[in-house]
Structure 1
């Protein structure tokens, strides 16, 4: 059985998503700083210029950065720039672009997705080669890109070596590579790497750089790493309705997070809180963790009565059903999750 989204305005949303957190103080300050005087619109402001310089320093001199409003927009814009009109993108069946974006890649981007079943949300080189049989076949959308999610919707991580192997396979067959990095800050922090170091080692051509889950307010970006494979992003962003007129406020947020160590501090904290939550829950009778807690997502397999107790108070999604028949919950921590919130959830789970 697949995931079941919980609903209920009366329920505590603290662990429903990392999107429930507020805005990082540095970001609030950056917005306030940007809110002084007049500035040219559509990216001609000093903050956007500084952001472009940062992107080149972080991702290489050829890098281009395009601020957008949200992760769905970043993914759709990035994939349109990577694919021709007849192209399709290989992704995990669990990928966010496949399950959680309201078919935006298909409806807005006119893209076909080729989802591959995976046990842990991670693609493997053989998933790419399995889709290549239709290359050149005029009756099929052409598999011309690979989209990977780092970290995945199942809370798993690709190592740099795994990403590099995927990119080598993809590039060897003429396919481009996109990273959905909605939680790339959490991934980089868990791997002990810098953002540029992780992306350079991955071999990716284009990145969706996530800021919102790490403390921004409606601020994401598309980063083109390899302009030879990705083109037209400025035009695509505009007709995809992702170009901000007052872009300085988006650029200022991204600078506040990524040109400082704020992104790492927030991500490391969220990851550590998830580790604590997972350990505390696993110590309860009848609870096992479904997989290792690698980033800021915890997937506890719990007895049905414990799940009912948790869901009576918290907005907690049932992500799967284990072989035992017990529900597997998804609990997310953020840069704002407190020890007290974890304590209260564990007490609720234990029936205390």
Structure 2
């Protein structure tokens, strides 16, 4: 019987950026705050310091609410931005639509209006507005964009701003799923405020776990008037930590320094190195130039099998020719040795068809 893919010798290094460990700086931030008493539920000095750091990134009115995970951040943000009769405009490939187990619907009571695209445009927003005021239809009240997307694409800043302008003109709030915001900001060569505040985002799900935290995300409210009651929703959604200082310490270690940028730069750089190496392998074609830390490659089955002789990787989809398209993720911990080994395995594949893929 073959070994389970979750046990050695199989390596999960390229399966997800969630497989990476914890940055030393995060462990040190936790250690500094590990002993002694502190007020619970966010009334501690570490959380107060985190608020000031977030305001330096996102503006003087920003409110930060640490949570345990990205699903919680998304559901809380969208609930706060949408009244009970409201609906959420998203893409067909949005994480909230495909990868959160129905939590927005089951926990948040949210109706999702999925557009047939991977990047929203103002036209997508306008297309969902034709039922405004029609009592028999769910009313769009919030737009959510994922930066960077599940396909590794990065919204240009002007596109986010145009979507936000259209949404605000129609009375809709704008949410950003920033699970990989750090990677997107690095790819765009901008700071966090430019990537979020300056383009009209009202509420942000800010990711840290994929970029080196032990386990901490945050809801960041940039426009409290459009997104009220987040603190109450967080409590009712079971995402308020009694010892919040340990979530805040991780976020402070990440965003109170340049760690968010350094780790994202490392992950993005390794993705470019991996893609360049794979593109030179027989039986492999990169689907697109990687913008962040995700590499998508179309491969012959023999190449996929050779890679999987050591590494866990996901078949994201199949090409029109029936070939597997693999998603390979890099993290801040991805090493040159791991990349070189994967490339050696890909090159070792015994191809029965030598035609160009």
TM-score interval for Structure 1 and Structure 2 normalised by the shorter chain: over 0.9
Taking the aligned partners of 1:312 and 1:106, their CA distance within structure 2 comes to: 39
* Structure 1 residue aligned with 2:354: none
SS of the residue 1:244 aligns to: coil
| Residue in structure 2 matching 1:205, options 202, 205, 218 | 202
Q: Which moved more, 1:22-31 or 1:130-139?
A: 130-139
Does 2:94 correspond to 1:89?
no
Structure 1 vs Structure 2 CA RMSD: 1.0
Q: Deviations over 1:188-213 (max 9, x none)?
A: 01111111121122211000000000
| Residue in structure 1 matching 2:235, options 214, 229, 238 | 238
* Structure 2 residue aligned with 1:339: 336
* Structure 1 residue aligned with 2:306: 309
Give structure 2 stretches of 5+ with no counterpart. Answer: 350-357
| 1:1-352 alignment runs, 5 A limit | 8-10=5-7, 11-118=10-117, 121-351=118-348
SS of the residue 2:130 aligns to: helix
The alpha carbon displacement at 1:130 in A equals 1.1
Taking the aligned partners of 2:237 and 2:58, their CA distance within structure 1 comes to: 24
Larger radius of gyration: 2
Q: Deviations over 1:72-103 (max 9, x none)?
A: 00000000110001111010111111010001
SS of the residue 1:88 aligns to: strand
Taking the aligned partners of 2:13 and 2:32, their CA distance within structure 1 comes to: 30
SS of the residue 1:209 aligns to: strand
Taking the aligned partners of 1:9 and 1:253, their CA distance within structure 2 comes to: 28
Taking the aligned partners of 2:310 and 2:186, their CA distance within structure 1 comes to: 31
Q: Deviations over 1:96-141 (max 9, x none)?
A: 11010001000110101111111xx211111111111111111111
Q: Please tell me whether the aligned partners of residues 88 and 142 of structure 2 are also in contact (alpha carbons under 8 angstroms).
A: yes
The total of aligned residue pairs comes to 344
Q: Please tell me whether the aligned partners of residues 284 and 303 of structure 2 are also in contact (alpha carbons under 8 angstroms).
A: no
The alpha carbon displacement at 1:351 in A equals 1.5
Give structure 1 stretches of 5+ with no counterpart. Answer: 1-6
The alpha carbon displacement at 1:159 in A equals 1.1
Taking the aligned partners of 2:214 and 2:249, their CA distance within structure 1 comes to: 11
Taking the aligned partners of 1:92 and 1:276, their CA distance within structure 2 comes to: 29
Taking the aligned partners of 1:110 and 1:281, their CA distance within structure 2 comes to: 43
The 4+ residue runs of structure 1 with deviation greater than 6 A are: none
| TM superposition score normalised by structure 1 | 0.96
The alpha carbon displacement at 1:315 in A equals 1.3
The alpha carbon displacement at 1:286 in A equals 2.4
Taking the aligned partners of 2:95 and 2:158, their CA distance within structure 1 comes to: 22
The alpha carbon displacement at 1:291 in A equals 1.7
